[in-house]
Structure 1
Amino acid sequence: MALATPIPRYHLYGENDPVEDFDFFHIETIRTRSKPHGWSLGAHSHAHLFQMLMITQGAGHLVDDTGEREISPKMAVFNPAGAVHGWTFTPDTQGYVVSFSHDYLGGREENRAEAERSALHAASNLVFELEREDLRRLTFCLEEMAEEFGNGRRRRDMFRPLLSLALVLIFSKKADAGELDRTPGFSLFRFRALVDEHFRTQRSPDFYATEMGLTTQRLNRYCRLFAERTAAQSIRDRVILEARRLIAFSDLSISQVAYDLGYEDPAYFSRVFRKETGEAPADFRARHAV
């Protein structure tokens, strides 16, 4: 019996995953990526990148594990990291695709807007039907980001507010209505929210399973199903993400970062960081120095 072909996992479609997606932001037109592939992008996922897509002209079809959905210019689509999705577009399609990593929004979880948290914890592809005014404002955000990006400028202080506003425009009503709670994979949504709240002090999957009313075995099953990671790996990923963020963007010493993340021994923290990222904290800081 022939083995099933695994669903490819890309950085951007057709590009292999880089070693690291830290602090990543990218925007391009739908045409740029889709036309060379015959306006059809097969089922795939992105390990570390979240994507937001909006069509301004033409039409498309989103294919995922729930089936096929038609996407029109009055809609926006959000694909969370790890979610499988594929696209077909009509040749006259225009619009934008924004890709960004979890850490790009910056800041601590408790300081993020509710819509940003909803986006970062989403566990399945989401389709939003926009009202006229929200559609106009979202189009403005995407056009501004695309123009800035296309001119070769990478001004984080411009992209981040526009990206944040775009997420608020598409997520706020859905979050208010409680629809995110009913998406498949909500157990993973809850798990990630708990990890964001407690990762500095709680590293055991047993703690999170108890908080969610699950067995540790079932929590691991959810994590493998929706994130292709064990619960312990997901917790460790969150700790290392915060370590990267603090090392790259704060004035804390490496020892202070270690203590902030709950490590009693900075040397042990440095060994863990090197094992997970492939480089020492000081080298990582030097490489990301502005």
Structure 2
Amino acid sequence: MKTAIPVYDICSISKGHHQQDLLVERLDHYLQKNYQKVHTQHGHDFYHLAMFTKGSGTHTIDFTTFTVKPFQVYFMVPGQVHSWYFRPGVDGYIVHFSAAFFHSFLLNQDYLERFPFFSGNSKDQVVNIPVNARKQITSVFENMLPETAVHDMVRVLLLELFLRVEKISARTAQRTIPQQKQLVMRNFRQLINKHFRTIKLPKEYAELLYITPNHLNALCQDLLGKTAGELIRERILLEAKRMLTNADLTITQIAYDLNFQDNSYFTRFFSKYEGVTPDGFRKSLN
């Protein structure tokens, strides 16, 4: 195992690329330059999205593996770890943009957080594009390619893409979820992402959301089939697994970073919910 999982910025992920805020390329061309990098586990400090138009393989995001199919769009946020395995003949589009890319363009700096595929929850980050929408979505990606677009045009086209994909996601959902419930759940997930190291109890999150703990639990059970406590634990475990990919960090250091009382408490917590010790999980990454 490498001493630390590599974390790439936009310039370092693609040879000869000098723009810090944006990269748009055809996927086959991108893979020719970065084959080894994408096939080993790595992280990004930027937003990443890709659509496949042909080919097959697998994509692992935060330790969840997906089967790659044509006309899937994958979204990732900074801090996530992933790796690809492709069979020959893969093509499509890939877009990288920095967290600052929209800052001078959007009044609401948290606008991207409204989209479920930017939640950081890997199961929400893969969207299958239906046949009747493929032409439109492909056209958006084509218009973002460097020979046809400048930065502001790419910003507009990306927002169009996000809105179209959000609409597709809503149509393919098994049921329509009231907007107010969606908003509360989105805010809860955002709060967890910001405070999971220091805030561990559902009642504390309920206070931040101005609702009762019972209401929060009922909402989580209704929308996700999980308790609020389970969602908090899942986020802590995800961060623990991300950190365990870095062999330079000791178990004690990880426990301290995640605000556990001691090493043994963290080990018991991890073992209980993952079925393996932190050290065992780390060894499984070899």
- Equivalent runs, 1:261-276 vs 2, <5 Å: none
- Structure 2 residue matching 1:102: 3-state secondary structure: coil
Counterpart residue type for residue 129 of structure 1: N
Equivalent position of 1:94 in the other structure: 91
Equivalent position of 1:166 in the other structure: 161
1:59-88 deviation line (CA, Å, top 9, x unaligned): 231023344322111211111221111112
CA offset at residue 57 of structure 1?
1.8
Contact 1:109 1:117 in 2 (8 A): no
Q: What is the rounded CA distance, in whole Å, between the counterparts of 1:111 and 1:86 in structure 2?
A: 27
1:143-175 deviation line (CA, Å, top 9, x unaligned): 1111xx136x6341x111110111122233435
Contact 1:52 1:99 in 2 (8 A): yes
Gaps of at least 5 residues in structure 2 are 214-227, 244-256, 259-286
Give me the TM-score of the superposition, normalised by structure 2: 0.55
- Structure 2 residue matching 1:104: 3-state secondary structure: coil
CA offset at residue 186 of structure 1?
7.3
CA offset at residue 37 of structure 1?
4.5
Stretches (4+) displaced over 6 A: 185-188, 192-195
Q: What is the rounded CA distance, in whole Å, between the counterparts of 2:12 and 2:109 in structure 1?
A: 35
Question: Which of 35, 52, 55 in structure 1 is aligned with 2:52?
Answer: 55
Give me the TM-score of the superposition, normalised by structure 1: 0.54
Do structure 1's residue 154 and structure 2's residue 150 form an aligned pair? Answer: yes
Identity %: 18
Q: What is the rounded CA distance, in whole Å, between the counterparts of 2:98 and 2:241 in structure 1?
A: 17
Q: What is the rounded CA distance, in whole Å, between the counterparts of 1:73 and 1:173 in structure 2?
A: 16
1:254-282 deviation line (CA, Å, top 9, x unaligned): xxxxxxxxxxxxxxxxxxxxxxxxxxxxx
- Structure 2 residue matching 1:191: 3-state secondary structure: helix
Equivalent position of 1:10 in the other structure: 8
Q: What is the rounded CA distance, in whole Å, between the counterparts of 1:65 and 1:101 in structure 2?
A: 20
Equivalent position of 2:189 in the other structure: 189
Judging changes above 3 Å, is the alpha-carbon distance between structure 1 residues 65 and 205 closer, same or farther for their aligned structure 2 residues? Answer: closer
Equivalent position of 1:64 in the other structure: 61
Aligned positions, number:
205
- Structure 2 residue matching 1:150: 3-state secondary structure: coil
Counterpart residue type for residue 10 of structure 2: L
- Structure 2 residue matching 1:144: 3-state secondary structure: helix
Q: What is the rounded CA distance, in whole Å, between the counterparts of 2:192 and 2:98 in structure 1?
A: 15
Equivalent position of 2:137 in the other structure: 138
RMSD, aligned CA:
4.5
Judging changes above 3 Å, is the alpha-carbon distance between structure 1 residues 65 and 221 closer, same or farther for their aligned structure 2 residues? Answer: closer
- Equivalent runs, 1:1-290 vs 2, <5 Å: 5-12=3-10, 15=13, 24-38=21-35, 41-47=39-45, 49-105=46-102, 106-109=105-108, 112=111, 117-124=115-122, 126-146=125-145, 149-150=146-147, 154-156=150-152, 158-174=153-169, 177=173, 189-191=189-191, 209=205, 210-211=207-208, 221=236, 225=240
